[in-house]
Amino acid sequence: MHDAAGILLSLLVVFVGARVGEELAQRMRMPGVVGEILAGAVLGPSLLNWVSPDQVLNALAEIGVVFLLFAVGLETRLDDLKRVGVIAFLVGTLGVIVPFGGATVWAHVEGFVWSKSMFIAAAFVATSAGITARVLQDMRALQRREAHVILGAAVIDDILAMLLLGVVVSVQQDGTTNAAHLLAVIAEAVGFVLIVGWVGTRVARRRSNWLERPRMSMSALSIVLALCLGLAWLSTRFGLAAIIGAFLAGLIASETEQRQQLEHHMKPLLTLLTPFFFVMTGVKLDVGVFAQPDALLMLVVATVLAVLTKLLGAYLGALKLGQRSALAVGMGMVPRGEVGVVVASLGLAAGVFNAKVYAVIVAMSLLTSILTPPLLGWLLAWSQQPQDDPQPT
């Protein structure tokens, strides 16, 4: 009974702390995820020491991030990607290649072997579409062409990032980076993603009535959650991260006629479980690391690198929109948010990152999320000034 009481108290502290942190962050016009992670840092061993990582909290955090990536996939539709045109594809692709290449070289210069360098670089790749979408919504700019390109490119960005993450996880587990092995890993990861994603979405689109056959309460949600957990497990059997399978499950479910209903039913689960992931991320953060000058310098370099490489890659992809709009698109792709944090947690759990690297990546993800809203707002206003911009194709 004592253990049960202790577990319930920990759950209460984490959940309430997450809600308070999110509320304070949003009142300060920052993304809610920033407040949840900072709440974890305050509650954890670095400061108040009210919460410590344990098996129960870590399990809830793992389930929370699996459902989070399922929800991201659920909001993604392949048809939406076709509508945003070539520019969004270029923005998404170059927005992955440039940061990954730059961060890999930087991490190797810092003294990491190539396999660990690629893992670190994976945290620099994906864009947090949720943070950017919230900024665009607050500015009532969702109907602008830059917004369409940013959100479309962010989806492509996420898909490429999941594929890239699968490759680096496999390489790290096998501990080798020779060309033949790397090609085999890439083929395995690409094959898994393409077969599951392509076949699954086609089946879901043509046979979505399979969700209506069972008559149990919430049957559609029960089936897709089983699919989510099953593909999450299957992806680990292929040496990939569980979140990749969860993302693919969401992508499949997004093609069914029950998509909106599923999104509605997922909200309570996400409200309950995802805060545990972000708070536990902060709990594991050793704030004392930044008392060391070398850690602070590493954070500054990592943040500047994260901003400039993503800005450059997305800017080059969006140049057909004109230079001002291309800069706005580039800034809209900068926030790493929850995606960088997910990669950091995977790296810590796998023993790839030490406490300093983990703290730097989490802090970099937070800083890019904090810097983006005011800079994006200014660039969007600037890009609205008269200029001769060609329309996207």
pLDDT in tens, 55-79: 899 899 889 888 988 887 787 666 6
Token code pair at residue 49: 């020491």
Mean pLDDT of 350-378: 84
CA 380 vs. chain centroid, Å, equals 24
For the chain, give the percent of residues with pLDDT over 70: 82
Q: What is the mean pLDDT of the chain?
A: 82
The span from the CA of 36 to the CA of 41, in Å, is 9
Of 39-48, 73-82, 210-219, where does mean pLDDT reach its minimum?
210-219
Residue 333 has pLDDT above 50, yes or no: yes
The span from the CA of 157 to the CA of 362, in Å, is 19
Q: Which residues contact 65 (CB under 8 A, 6 or more apart)?
A: 243, 274, 277, 342, 345
**What Cα–Cα distance (Å) separates residue 165 from each residue in 161, 346, 370?**
6, 10, 24
Token code pair at residue 28: 């300060």
With left for phi above 0 and alpha for psi between -120 and 50, is residue 390 left, alpha or beta? beta
What pLDDT was estimated at residue 288? 85
Instruction: Give the pTM.
Output: 0.72
Q: What is residue 350's three-state secondary structure?
A: coil
C-beta atoms surrounding 182 within 10 Å: 18
* CATH class of the region 2-383: mainly alpha
Residue 389 has pLDDT above 60, yes or no: no
What pLDDT was estimated at residue 43? 94
pLDDT band at 1 (very low <50, low <70, confident <90, very high): very low
Residue 179 has pLDDT above 70, yes or no: no
Task: Compute φ and ψ for 311, nearest 5 degrees.
Answer: -60, -45
What pLDDT was estimated at residue 71? 85
One-character DSSP codes across 156-181: HHHHHHHHHHHHHHHHHHHT---HHH
Residue 388 has pLDDT above 50, yes or no: no
Rg of the chain on CA atoms, in Å: 20
Given a contact cutoff of 8 angstroms between Cβ atoms, the answer to whether 235 and 241 are in contact is yes
What pLDDT was estimated at residue 175? 59
Amino acid at 356: K
Domain ranges within the chain, ordered by starting residue: 2-383
Residue 293 has pLDDT above 80, yes or no: yes
The span from the CA of 125 to the CA of 39, in Å, is 25
What pLDDT was estimated at residue 81? 60
What pLDDT was estimated at residue 308? 95
Residue 120 has pLDDT above 70, yes or no: yes
What pLDDT was estimated at residue 94? 94
In this predicted model, which residue has the larger pLDDT, 315 or 218? Answer: 315
